A and B are shown apart, each in its own frame.
Chain A
Amino acid sequence: MSNKQRVLVIGNGMVGHKFLEAMVNSPQYSAFEVTTFCEESRIAYDRVHLSEFFCGRSADDLSLVEPGYYEQHGIRVLLGDKAVSIDRSAKTVTSEKGEVLSYDKLVLATGSFPFVPPIPGHDRDNCFVYRTIDDLEDMQAAAKNSKVGAVIGGGLLGLEAAKALVDLGLETHVIEFAPRLMAVQIDDGGGAMLRQKIEDLGVKVHLGMNTQNIGDGDERFHKMSFADGSEIETDMLLFSAGIRPQDALARDCKLELGERGGIVVNDHCQTSDPDVYAIGECAMWSGRIYGLVAPGYKMAQVACDHINAEDNAFSGADMSTKLKLMGIDVASIGDAHANTPNAKEYTYVNGTEEIYKKIVVSADNTRLLGAVLVGDAADYGTLLQMALNDIPLPEFPDALILPQRDGNGATGMGVDMLPDGAQICSCNDVTKGQLCQAVSDGATVLGDLTLATNAGTSCGGCKTLVGQVLNNELEKMGLEVNTDICEHFPHTRQELYHLVRVGEIKTFSDLLAQHGSGYGCDICKPTAASILASCWNDYVLEPEHLGLQDTNDRYLGNMQKDGTYSIVPRIAGGEITPEKLIVLGEVGKKYNLYTKVTGGQRIDLFGARLEQLPQIWKELVDAGFETGHAYGKSLRTVKSCVGSTWCRYGQNDSVALALQIEHRYKGLRSPHKIKSAVSGCTRECAEAQSKDVGIIATESGWNMYVCGNGGMRPRHADLFATDLDTETLIKYTDRFLMFYVQTADRLQRTSTWMDNMDGGVDYLREVIISDSLGIGEKLEAEMAKVIDTYQCEWKTTIDDEEKVLMFRPFINSNKADSNVVFVEERGQIRPARKDEKELVSA
């Protein structure tokens, strides 16, 4: 038996997982042996975003655990097993399957369970709770035979559950006992506005309803009867009437509990037994149970630190919250109900735009105590920081919530006023001081800063504020945020794009004369070449464009380390006939090229000398191939799985769609390379979620994912829209790609482009789907122009003798470069190393 300290965790929810992560990251991790119970059939997943399950996010998408993470760190997971008793004197836990586990430290992260009010009939069929993915799957199955759904409970979770019913396509009712929605977090005025907005979305809201009985319905499955004599019939019923701490194990082993449940803990999250900790929703600290994830995360860190004998204490948590319910922004800060003696309120109600804002201030009108925001929560970050950091209010506090229509911008406070200790990201506990440190350590763009600190990576609510801290710091450091692309143009790529487009500039020399200085360089010339190509789509080897091209574009091939090129003909969607495959083999053999299959389902032929390129391409073009643009910052490949044509599981014809997309966007020059893929079903064999535009077939259409990439910093694509028909999918893709081409920085992949965008994927949806900028049709028209002017650059080149001359090895000789030497390896050529070359020449 090892002499490691045994740490046993019961519960693998969000908080349980956070604790495990904290342990793994602790300096003495190797001194511990960690085991966790996971009663559910799935390891930790994101319960906060559970409702996204119904708009296409899979159970895997919701997982919080990188595949292999527990194995890699030696954490034993008792999946699907459950702790049934704790023997504190023997320090053992017995599992349902009969295993007895010893512990030195025990951590209870058992969470909570949904409270189901004891209404007669509550245990009928088709009654559900809303807590786990299993619950959701049950609901999904029941929804197939349902038309109407009702939620009992109009709190935060109840409204989330109502959204799930709407997503399932049901007529939805929300039934609340209290006289307003979200009674805990918001006031009457905010509740009324929220109700109005939710009813706009077709949800029927019933307030002040006391459900007395659930029985058989006449038209629908259930009939709910209320104290006022009214009735509602529904097929499905969801209970979301609050949560109760899961404290049964603690009760059985006689740990101290609160009067109404909850495991009592001290500031170190220890229970009445110092070797047993409780964290998250099962724990009661100072008479309170925290039902939010941020305090749970904090407790997880505190317990971990205490086990590691490090200093840390839980000292309560702010319960302010901001969320998006059915697309509606709702936020609550501090004393939202003005319970503080003599507190005063300011309210702004905009009935047209359906916005409600209220601030609660101290009796002397100098401090912010609380706030309620419905319909527009953009001020949340600022207001929260003012309340938390006790920042003096401006002379007229109502200015904080009144709209700014004179163009002077918000009168709130600058982030400069925040103390270093101010917590900016509550999910990941990142302070302003930590952000500032990261900025001075070199994280000077938003994407790098969030990566370095994790700020803004969970709920994203603080991202605007993180951006403000960044800009403020850069300004203070005297670092003017220089976004000029190089010394020759005082402009960003985006600005240059617009100058070219608006001024109808067709050549680099005109662009330089009108907007730049000097002669240009290897930064601005290829950038301009790409912009000119995106806008006007001229042949890239025209004399006025020739000198702008990177060598890959100039010779329409991919230069390798020895100065030779590789050749990648287009094999759209990865589909190729045997005849064409033979042609590639024959060309490879004839010119003695190294051949390799690429990750994008194409074939790469390496080792062609400059002067061989036109000959090789002539043979390829004659056989029906066209350029694959592997050399360009442009659309590369659209990978596909074989789809419904052959596959037993395929939902749709992924190959046909991949071909359509690849042929549509081939040749589109862009700020960086663009990749796409289409999978025929959710098994995702084409790995579409690692692409800039990924498409996955569903039963009823296509799900569209955007802004993923592989490479150095792999990133999963975000689900952008669901169940699209092909026409809509193409429309959104046109707009998405053109918006990227127009607004991204040089060499910025779609992922960083979006991550640096204020509002991220939500903003992108507004622009692309809701057309909030009114540019949708323009983007489509510009894309249509690129598509209409497509040419195979290699065909154009080999048809023009003068262009072919540019591929001569020397302007005054046709002798081959004697420095290009190959040796054989595994039956093919490879470039010779220096020592091998010396041997050859000796």
Chain B
Amino acid sequence: MKDPTKNVQEDNVTTDQNWISICALEDLPCNAGVAALLHADTPRETQIALFRTSANDAVYAISNFDPFSEANVLSRGILCSIGEQLAVASPVLKEHFNLATGQCFEDESVSIATFPVKIADGNVLVAG
């Protein structure tokens, strides 16, 4: 499996984004997802899904909102590899989303937001 640059994409962090500390890395279950809340109780409140995979020892963050079922459920999906790419399968109707790009595998016209992640001092930080 190729290493998708550890997906620490600091260069992609735009000016209105900040690194937000979410939790300790060791609090994330391995090869499974959890949901996290960014900007709670503000107009920018956003749900993300965080996945820590042993495939390349990386952490990914994507939107938690499944556009097909319109429910916040992607953190509860199963992680997959499709060829060389990592994806999560929606637990509702099983569409797959690329963890690195947010692209849906079943429907080209659908993609979801992804968020830069970095690990610092054993903490997981997400830019948002």
Interface residues of A, Cβ cutoff 8 Å to B:
487-488, 509, 518-522, 525-526, 543, 546-551, 554-555, 559, 561-563, 806, 809-813, 815, 817-819, 834
Contact = CB atoms under 8 A, between A and B. Distances in A.
25 contacts: A487-B82, A518-B81, A519-B1, A519-B79, A519-B80, A519-B81, A520-B80, A521-B82, A522-B89, A526-B78, A546-B31, A547-B29, A547-B32, A547-B79, A551-B78, A551-B91, A561-B92, A562-B69, A562-B71, A563-B69, A563-B73, A815-B37, A819-B70, A819-B71, A834-B70
Contact of A522 (B1, B28, B47, B94): B94
Nearest to A819: B72
B86 A519 contact: yes
Given A550-B91, A812-B37, A813-B37, A522 B50 contact: no
B110 interface: no
Interface string B21-51: 0110001111110111100110001010010
A563 B27 contact: no
B55 interface: yes
B104 to A, nearest CB: 14
A546 B76 CA distance: 11
B78 A811 contact: no
A519 B32 contact: no
Given A519-B79, A554-B32, A819-B71, 10 more contacts: A521-B82, A522-B89, A547-B78, A549-B78, A550-B91, A810-B36, A811-B23, A815-B37, A817-B72, A819-B65
Interface in B59-89: 65, 69-73, 76-83, 86, 89
B53 interface: yes
A817 B40 CA distance: 11
A701 B101 CA distance: 63
A563 B1 contact: no
Contacts of A546: 29, 31-32
Given A518-B1, A519-B86, A810-B47, A563 B71 contact: yes
Contact of A559 (B1, B53, B91): B91
Closest 3 A/B residue pairs (Cβ):
A519-B81, A521-B80, A551-B91
Contacts of B77: 522, 551
Contacts of B29: 543, 546-547, 806
Contact of A561 (B31, B36, B41, B71): B71
Nearest to A521: B80
Interface residues of B, number: 41
A811 B32 contact: no
Contacts of A813: 36-37, 40
B35 A809 contact: yes
A488 B23 CA distance: 32
A554 B53 contact: no
Interface of B: 1, 22-23, 27-32, 34-37, 40-41, 45, 47, 50, 53-55, 65, 69-73, 76-83, 86, 89, 91-92, 94, 96
A834 B29 CA distance: 33
Contacts of A562: 69, 71
Contacts of A518: 1, 81
Contact of B40 (A487, A509, A815): A815
Q: Point out which of B1, B45, B50, B80 has the most chain A C-beta atoms below 10 A from its C-beta.
A: B80
Contacts of A543: 29-30
Nearest to A488: B81
B53 A811 contact: no
A157 B55 CA distance: 67
A594 to B, nearest CB: 17
Nearest to B69: A561
A547 B91 CA distance: 12
A811 B55 contact: no
A554 B80 CA distance: 16
Nearest to A563: B71
Nearest to A610: B76
A809 B34 CA distance: 9
A550 B78 contact: yes
Contacts of A554: 32, 76
Residue of A487, A549, A810 contacting most chain B CB atoms (<10 Å) = A810
A518 B1 CA distance: 7
Nearest to B22: A812
* Residue from the set A509, A543, A546, A811 with the largest chain B CB neighbour count within 10 Å: A811
A519 B55 contact: yes
B54 to A, nearest CB: 8
A554 B76 CA distance: 8
A164 to B, nearest CB: 52
A557 to B, nearest CB: 11
B47 A817 contact: yes
Nearest to A549: B78
Given A547-B29, A551-B91, A561-B92, A811 B80 contact: no
Contacts of B76: 551, 554-555, 559, 563
Contacts of B23: 811-812
Interface centre among B69, B76, B77, B89 (most CB of A within 10 A): B76
Contacts of A555: 76
Contacts of B96: 522
B27 A811 contact: yes
B35 to A, nearest CB: 5
A549 B50 CA distance: 17
